Amino acid sequence: QITLKESGPTLVKPTQTLTLTCTFSGFSLSTSGVGVGWIRQPPGKALEWLALIYWNDDKRYSPSLKSRLTITKDTSKNQVVLTMTNMDPVDTATYYCAHSTTVTPPYNWFDPWGQGTLVTVSS
């Protein structure tokens, strides 16, 4: 069974850097084809894809946020870390991580997702 869980601060100040950790079980990021993505959702609004990292360290970023994002993996700890610099109140959202794979169905889709963690940006 695949599970993911996000962790990190619930409150950050404007201009600070946010660091979120996704800890997962039931799969390994050293397995060919596996990926972990980050998606966020402002309160009452739609989903927005942020970043994705694959087993081979290939990384993809949302073009609109690329300059502020860094995604890394620690295979030994079964963790993926997302950092977002220069946080602003508009970045207030629930941040989700999700599993993806290129080798078995559902190919390249986000399934399953973690429960999400709400991050509020306020001074």
Partner 1 sequence: EIVLTQSPATLSLSPGERATLSCRASQSVSSYLAWYQQKPGQAPRLLIYDASNRATGIPARFSGSGSGTDFTLTISSLEPEDFAVYYCQQRSNWSPFTFGPGTKVDIK
Q: Which residues bind partner 1 (CB under 8 A)?
A: 37, 39, 46-49, 52, 60-63, 96, 105-116
By beta-carbon proximity to partner 1, the closer residue of 58 and 76 is: 58
* Least Cβ distance, residue 78 to partner 1 (angstroms): 19
Nearer to partner 1, 78 or 101 (CB): 101
Distance of CA 36 to the CA centre of its chain: 7
- The residue (of 16 and 94) whose beta carbon lies closer to partner 1 is 94
In the chain, the largest separation of any two C-alpha atoms, in whole Å, equals 45
CB of 47 to partner 1, least distance (A): 4
The set of residues, in sequence order, having a beta carbon less than 8 Å from that of 81 and lying 6+ positions away, is 19, 20, 21, 22, 71, 72, 73, 74
